[in-house]
Each structure stands twice: as structure tokens, then as C-alpha cells.
Structure 1
Amino acid sequence: MKKRTLGFWEIWNMSFGFLGIQFGFALQGGFMSRIFQTLGASKDEIPLLWIAAPLTGLLVQPIIGYMSDRTWSNKWGRRRPYFLIGAILSSLALFFVPYSPALWVAAGFLWILDASINVSMEPFRALVADKLPESQRSYGFVVQTLIIGIGTWVASNLPWMVSKFGVSDAADLGVIPDSVKIAFAIGAFVFLLSILYTVFTTTEYPPEDMEEFEREKAKKNNFIPDILNNIGNMPLTMKKLGVIQFFSWFAFFTMWSMANPALTEHVFNTPAPIESAFDMADTVQKAAFDTQNTAFQKSSNLVGSAMGIYGLSSMAFALLLVVYTSKRRINRKLVHMGSLILGGIGFLAMYYASPEQLKYCFVLIGFAWGSILSMPYAMLSSSVDPKKMGVIMGIFNMFIVIPQIIAALGGINFVSSLLGEEAINAMTVAGISLIIAGLCNLLITNKNAITYQAEEI
């Protein structure tokens, strides 16, 4: 089927649901460690508490990709039913997670939240490849990245914005501040609303041969053998991209899980107070705990706000690529390599940054993030069978979640401990990992993956 060239607003509408998805991811990535610390987790325990996120991605994304490839509804299409189901579940989880009364409850909500976000996210990646001709693939993924950047910046600033309107950052021992609760409630609303916008403004192409499609659906479900077969026969370019993804996502998982303890401690000098160090029955010590806890919560707002800068710079980076790729050819390999190396430099600079300089570190990280969200998918989509786009995108997610699982199971703690005991060493590890990821782009040699000739838009 020859796919027609889409205009900017058509691509914007089909990608708009990613605004909500990124609200969910940004609130999760920016503030779950803060919630864990508020509920009593030590900084060494935090990476393991995060293991729910990559584990659910490893299980959910290939399953959802496989199912969406085999789904068709005249009313709802192929991918949109999964957008909607994931949005409803994610919105409920986002609303309730900051009300967690104990650490294990928060970890459980993270599991539910990440699984639900993945139900929505994976079909969005496949939708771009479904709807756009190959000449517009980079353009489509870059528009997604533009929307993701907007979502990251706004959501990361929500607790800070809410506190500026007078909502308290103070809270009792083991209680999440109201500023965080309201921010997560806003995120839940935006998530659902943005997904509904895409569902009702976007149509999908039906299967090219409906009779053959129905015959395939009627066959015995061979999900596991099909998944294993696709893994065993993945294109060489996909394997090489997997190496790049490994080091890229190890770095970003390290940031999401450890940036709050690392930066509140090293840059802002306001580490989370340890309950056992205070006699909470003593009025003076209780007041001292409350003072330190409020300072930690306020600096956590500022860390979240600084992290939002990487969403803003990734948005600017994506906007530049939107303008450029709409008319001209790009070298995806060199763009991705340079962006990742710049992001690595941003992480390394955190060791020397003041609170005022921290935003510049995240500007550089945003270039890497903008590229990670577009270039690998554009390169991959030029190297795989379009009939299997959903399941391939799901399998490709393995190269995202496996490094995160390794990081959570002790990878971060082990590697950063080689540099010392300070939490900031985790950011140094993230920087080194991202620079290695950038250099691994030299492995990519497939000409179709590296570049393309754009059509007029």
C-alpha cells in the first residue's frame, strides 16, 4: 500500500498522546526516588526499588506489540484500543501513587504505573511506522520527540509550580507533601485527556489484505515461538542498535533512579534526613528533622525542575530536526553519536556544578534524550518488515529494559562504588556510559538506516 504524505498537524495529532505518556514518565522518573526516600529508603536501596519499571517493560511491550499487530477494529483501528486501555490504568496509578503509606506500596504502584504506560507507549511507536511513508519516518519520530520534550519539561516542573501557588512542601514523617500529590493528580488528568485527543483525531490504515489478516488471526496462537523466532532472526542493524541502546538506557536509568539523592546531597547540600538519627519523641529533634526534611523536599523540587530542562532542550533539538528533516537528508548515525557524547559531558559536569549551573548540564543531556527518542527508531524502521512493526518495536524494547534491569540489580551500585561512596558518582557513571553509547554508533554501516532522501512535505 502506498501511504500518502502527511502534513505537520496530522502527524502532530497522531503523536499528541505522547504528551500524556511523557507526563507519566517524567513524574515517575523525576519523583519516584523522592517518594521512596520520603518513605524511608536509603540511597543504596533505590535502584532495586526501581526494578519494577524495566521488568514490566520487558514483559509487556513484546506482548502488546504482538497483540496490536493482530488487532483490527473498523471503529477503533489497530493501535488505538491499547492507547485507551493504557491511559485509563496509568491515570489511576498516577493519582494514587503519592498516597502510598509504605515503601512496598509505592514500589507496587510503580509496577502498575510502568506496565500501564507501556501498554500505551509501544503502539505509539508502531503507529508512526504504520501511518508514514519511509521518507517521513525520521520526521514523524522527531515530532513525537518534540511533544515528549514539552511533556517532560512541564511535568518535571509541576511540584515546583504547585508549591509556588502556596501548596505546602512540608509533611510529617513518611508522608508525601501535598505539592507532589497535586502534581501527580494533574499528570493523571493530562495523560487521559491527551490520549483521548489522539484516539478521536487519528485514523489508521486497515490491513492490506483483510482475508489474509483474518486467516493469520485464526491460526493457533504461537506467541512465544513467534517472539523467539523474531529475536533469533533480528536484522544485524537491530543488533548493533541494541549495543547503543544498552549504554544509553543504562545512563538514563541511572539518572532517573539516582539524580535526586545525588544532586540534593552533592549540589544542594540538603540530603534526605535519616529517621534513626533523630529522637522523634524529643520536641527539639523533631523540629530539626522537620526543618531538614522540608529543605530536602524543596531542593527535590528544584532537582525536578532542573531535570525538566532536558525535556526543554530535547524539544528545541527536535524542533530543529523537524525543520531540517522536512526538506533535507540527515545522517542519523552522526547526529545520534554527537548528541549522546554531548549528553555524557553534561552528566560528567554535574560533579562540578553549582545549583545555578545545573540547568546547563541538563541542556546537554536533552540533546542526547531528543536523539534517543527518535534516531534509533528511525534507523530501525528502515531495517525491518513493516508487517511485523509492532512486535519488532516490542522486541527492540529489550535493549532498553535489559540494561535497566542490570543497573537495578546492582550495576549502578557496583560501578559507582569503584569511584567512591558519594551518590554523585552515579552521575559520573551515567556520563561515561553515554559517551560509550555515542562511540558505538560507529558500528552502524547500513546505508538505509544511516540516511534517507526526504520528500517534500
Structure 2
Amino acid sequence: MALSNTHEIAPAPSGLLQLKPNLPILSIINMAVGFFGLQIGFALQNANASRIFSTLGSNTDTLALYWLAGPVTGLIMQPIVGYLSDQTWTRFGRRRPYFLLGALLASFALIFMPNSPALWIAASSLWILDASLNISMEPFRAFVGDNLNTKQRTLGYAIQGFFIGAGGYVGSKLPEWATALGAANTADANIVPDSVKLAFLLGAAILFASVLYTVVTSKEYDPDTLHAFEAADNSALAHARRETPTVPPAAWFSSRGLIALFIGGGLLALVAFGSAEKQLAVFAVMVVVLGLLLVYNAWRLKGARAAGMIGSLMDDLATMPLLMKRLALVQFTSWFAFFTLWVYLNSAVTSHHFGTTDPTSEAFGVGSLAVNNIFAIYSLVAWGFSLLIPIGTRGIGLKPFYALSLLIGGFSFISIWLFPPSLFWLSAVGIGVVWACILTLPYALLADALPAGRMGTYMGIFNYFIVIPQLVVGTIMGSVLTGLLGGQTVLTLVIAGGVMMSGAVLLIFVPYEKPLDTISKAD
């Protein structure tokens, strides 16, 4: 019953119900190779977008505004792509068509972004890049949940994390390697250096090739087979997955929709008539849109109209499993911290440790390479540490292991402020440990609680809590930086570290009990 590496799709089991079988390790590896390329795209973006924006004329306190392209795109794209991939079944599979489409678009965006002639075009390219990566990424998460049983899911997400770490390392080192090949690491004002342009070009080629490899070598269970496997699972979490959640009445949606409209409208008024920063308008508009969607769903329910995509997404948002709701708060703290790191690390290091904010200076170039090295080291550590996660979680449990990693990661963020550049490698090691864990453990915890038929949708909704903290950072951190931190960018990393540590406390309230080990030993 294992997934085949040939062109045969595994058939639905007949006769007695069977549990989802263990897959060969090669099949699990093939499923994850595409994430190597996707993470090269994310790494190039994370380590170099602020440098590109600064080169093209962005001020430090507005950097986060340009970075909002990513989270806004993710907020829109992730649940939609998850929903659509749940409904898709073609001769090429359920998730794989989305892998290939996203990879193709992301490759074009990577080529174009560092060659943008103006700041607004570079920001638009980031928007397209993030949308494209999201088209591939969310189906990849659901892909593991679809194909692996409870026993193998932690391993599956850990191998995915292994390739994410490898891709992050390669993507972070590409500008340095391009410099070593002779590409210039400095350029005239308003010109992106050739080292960055070459790095993005190479990254685009590797991204597409790695995703194509996964598409060609991996196969999927058809929906009937997935439902049959789920029906055979008698674990406690499986019973919970099969329970039909009760959708709240129309009044539930309308009351919350009106509250969201009131809050969003108030924030917009503060931007228009008060002293609030303009970037707050982006977050306000998102709140207003949420309010309108909730009110729409109330109207739909009152009229007993068909759900459609929007109605289904609103219903699923309202009926998230309790584990998912509480785990989402932990997810918020992790991604608040990492988005702050990605936006402000380059500025924090170059200004605090290298004493410059001039993108044309040699010190800025050296500091930027030091930042790339932090990204490279933490990605390299995550690469190796991912394979230790299944061992560690078997020893002390998923939740304690996850909490410990958040404490280590939080201190490592703060240490960038405290340590000299010669010790940045130590900070990067701790960041790599927590990066590996947040790429693996939330999804291992979550997948056990989700029904097979809505795996993609719920994975997309769960990633709201990757996107929302990014919106929060993008809309308020600029004001915090100038108003409370006196423009000392490095202190944003201290805030980020503290927020991450709070996630370890929130994990206490996540209700999770590992399902009974009733997995079939058949291959």
C-alpha cells in the first residue's frame, strides 16, 4: 500500500479497512526536495530584500512597510490555495499542480526583483514572489499530512525541515559565493550590486529544478483512498477529526463582523485624521475585509444559501479544533520574532555593530555579508538539527521539546544585541535550533487533529497566524522604533526574543495527547 515512485497512483483499499501504511524513506525524501528550492527563494528574499529596498532609497523606519507585501499576499493566498487544492483532483494529482505553478511564477519574480529600476517595482516584485511561493508552500504542508500516517508525520515534517535548512543555507550564501566568483558586492547609488543579481538568478534556476523533481518523483493518494484510511483509524484524535463541527449561528458571525468593522474603521480614522502611521492603514483594511466577510457569511446562513469557497472558509475559521486555536497563539509569537529578524537584522547589524547606515559604504557591504552569514549558519544548523527532532521528541515529548526550543531561540535573538560580531555564530546556532522546530513541530501537532478532506484548507487558515504577526510587525514596529526605541534598530530584536519566549508559556495550554500507536506495519 505504499505510494509508488512510478506513474501509478495508489488505489483505494478494498475489503477490510486498513490504516495508512508506512512509506519508504526515499518516498518521504522525494516529497520534501521541492522545499529546498522554495526555501532558497525565501532565504534570498529574507536576507536581501531590506538591502535592495535600502539601495533603492527606502528609509529604515519604512522598511517594514515594503515588507508588508508578503504577509498581505499570504493572508489572501494561503487559505484560498489550501481550499482549492482540497477540491482538486487531476491526472497530475491533488497538490502537485500547485507546486509547479508556484515555482514557475516564483522563478520569474526572483529574476526580476534585483533588476527593478525603482523602489515601488522592487516592492511589487516581492509581492509577486511571496504570492508565488505561497501557491507552492501550503500544498506542500498538506502533502505530508495527506501521505504520511501519524507515526511518520514528525519524520516527514523533519525531513521537510532538513531541506528547508539546506535551501536556507544555500540561498543565504549565494551572494557571498557570487562575490567570490568575481561579481561586485558594491555599486553606485540606487543600483543593486551584481553579486545580488547573480545570486537571485542562480536561486531561480535551483528553485524550479527542485520543485520539478518532487512533482516528477512523488505521487498522491486519491481522495477516496484518504477517506478510507481515515475511517480505519480508531485513535482518539481520529474520532475527533471525524466529528462534524457545529457551525455557529448567523448571529455569531454578524456580531463579530460588526466588531471587526468598528475596529477597522476606527483605525482608518486614526490614520486619516489622527497621528497614526500610514502603514497602520494596511492592517486596518485587512480588519475591515474580515468584518465584511463575516457579515457576508451571516447573511448567507440566514438565507440558507450554498457555502461556496468564501462561506466554507468562514465556517472552517469558526470551527477550528481547540488544539489549532491554542497552537495558533504559539505560532503567532514565533513568526512575530522571525519577521522582525528578517526586516531589521541587516539594519541592526550594520548600524549597531558596523556604525553605518550608508548602503554605498564598504562597511555596509561587510555588515550585510555578516548578516548573510547569520542566515546561512542558522539555516545550516536547522538543516542538521531537523533530523534530531524525531529523536528528541520521542525522549521528552513534542510539547516540552518545542517549548525548550522557543526559550533557546528567544535568548539567541537577544544575544545579537549583546554579542560582538565574532560571536554571531553562537546566536545563529540557537536561532537555527528554534527555526528547525517551528518548521516541524507545529505541523506535526496540528496534522493529527485535522480531517483529510480539509487538510489543505485548515493548513492555509493556520498560516493566518504566520501572516498576522507579520502584519502587526509591519504596521507598528516602525512607530515603536522611532517613538520608543530611539531609532536603535537592534532593540527590535530584543522585543522579538521576549515575544518568542512567551510562546513557551502558551504551549502549556495546547491540548495534545499523542494518538495510540495503531499504525499498520505494512509497506
TM-score (norm 2): 0.78
2:167, 2:475 → 1: CA distance? 29
Q: Structure 1: where are the runs of 5+ without partners?
A: 213-218, 274-289
Cα–Cα, structure 1 residues 146 and 210, in superposed 2: closer, same or farther, change >3 Å?
Answer: closer
2:518, 2:482 → 1: CA distance? 43
Task: Report what 1:60 is aligned to.
Answer: 77
Residue deviations 1:392-415, cap 9 Å, x none? Answer: 000001111011101101245427
Residue deviations 1:198-243, cap 9 Å, x none? Answer: 000001011117999xxxxxx9671111001111110111111011
Task: Report what 1:175 is aligned to.
Answer: 191
1:8, 1:183 → 2: CA distance? 32
Residue 49 (structure 1) aligned with residue 66 (structure 2): yes
**1:323, CA displacement in angstroms?**
5.3
Cα–Cα, structure 1 residues 441 and 166, in superposed 2: closer, same or farther, change >3 Å?
Answer: same
SS at match of 2:330: helix
2:504, 2:202 → 1: CA distance? 36
Of residues 452, 460, 473 in structure 2, which corresponds to 1:407? 473
Task: Report what 2:376 is aligned to.
Answer: 308
1:233, 1:442 → 2: CA distance? 22
1:123, 1:355 → 2: CA distance? 39
Residue deviations 1:119-167, cap 9 Å, x none? Answer: 0000000000110011111111011001100111111011011111221
Task: Give, as a single letter, the amino acid of the residue that structure 2 aligns with 1:182.
Answer: L
Task: Report what 2:205 is aligned to.
Answer: 189
Residue deviations 1:416-450, cap 9 Å, x none? Answer: 8534421101111111111111221111132138x
Of residues 201, 208, 223 in structure 1, which corresponds to 2:309? 223
**1:254, CA displacement in angstroms?**
0.2
Cα–Cα, structure 1 residues 211 and 410, in superposed 2: closer, same or farther, change >3 Å?
Answer: closer
Task: Report what 2:451 is aligned to.
Answer: 385
**1:362, CA displacement in angstroms?**
1.1
2:328, 2:389 → 1: CA distance? 23
Task: Report what 2:111 is aligned to.
Answer: 95
Of residues 348, 353, 358 in structure 1, which corresponds to 2:414? 348
Q: Structure 2: where are the runs of 5+ without partners?
A: 1-17, 229-304
2:122, 2:143 → 1: CA distance? 32
Task: Report what 1:18 is aligned to.
Answer: 35
Residue 438 (structure 1) aligned with residue 504 (structure 2): yes
Task: Give, as a single letter, the amino acid of the residue that structure 2 aligns with 1:372.
Answer: I
Task: Report what 2:181 is aligned to.
Answer: 165
Aligned partners of 2:174 and 2:199 also within 8 Å:
yes
1:261, 1:402 → 2: CA distance? 23
Residue 104 (structure 1) aligned with residue 120 (structure 2): yes
2:29, 2:482 → 1: CA distance? 40
* Cα RMSD for the two superposed structures: 2.2
Residue deviations 1:248-293, cap 9 Å, x none? Answer: 11100000111111111112333235xxxxxxxxxxxxxxxx5x2x
Of residues 351, 357, 363 in structure 2, which corresponds to 1:295? 363
**1:36, CA displacement in angstroms?**
0.6
Aligned partners of 2:51 and 2:346 also within 8 Å:
yes
**Range with greater deviation from structure 2 (349-358 or 190-199):** 349-358
1:41, 1:329 → 2: CA distance? 48
Residue 38 (structure 1) aligned with residue 106 (structure 2): no
Aligned partners of 1:417 and 1:425 also within 8 Å:
no
Residue deviations 1:2-46, cap 9 Å, x none? Answer: 322012221010110000110010111111001011111111000
Aligned partners of 2:40 and 2:171 also within 8 Å:
yes
Residue deviations 1:161-202, cap 9 Å, x none? Answer: 111122111211100000000000011001100000000000
1:118, 1:110 → 2: CA distance? 12
Aligned partners of 1:267 and 1:353 also within 8 Å:
no
**Range with greater deviation from structure 2 (113-122 or 154-163):** 154-163
Task: Give, as a single letter, the amino acid of the residue that structure 2 aligns with 1:424.
Answer: V
Cα–Cα, structure 1 residues 200 and 209, in superposed 2: closer, same or farther, change >3 Å?
Answer: closer
Aligned partners of 1:264 and 1:270 also within 8 Å:
yes
Task: Report what 1:126 is aligned to.
Answer: 142
Task: Report what 1:204 is aligned to.
Answer: 220
1:117, 1:243 → 2: CA distance? 24
Of all paired residues, the percent bearing the same amino acid is 43
Task: Report what 2:323 is aligned to.
Answer: 237
2:226, 2:402 → 1: CA distance? 38
Of residues 40, 43, 46 in structure 2, which corresponds to 1:29? 46
**1:324, CA displacement in angstroms?**
5.7
Cα–Cα, structure 1 residues 413 and 314, in superposed 2: closer, same or farther, change >3 Å?
Answer: farther
Residue 73 (structure 1) aligned with residue 73 (structure 2): no
Task: Report what 1:280 is aligned to.
Answer: none
1:418, 1:108 → 2: CA distance? 30
1:323, 1:438 → 2: CA distance? 20
**1:369, CA displacement in angstroms?**
0.6
1:11, 1:221 → 2: CA distance? 35
**1:299, CA displacement in angstroms?**
2.1
2:63, 2:119 → 1: CA distance? 11
SS at match of 2:129: helix
2:161, 2:483 → 1: CA distance? 34
1:261, 1:199 → 2: CA distance? 38
1:358, 1:182 → 2: CA distance? 26
Of residues 439, 442, 454 in structure 2, which corresponds to 1:376? 442
**1:322, CA displacement in angstroms?**
4.5
2:399, 2:131 → 1: CA distance? 31
2:224, 2:138 → 1: CA distance? 22
SS at match of 1:421: coil
SS at match of 1:448: coil
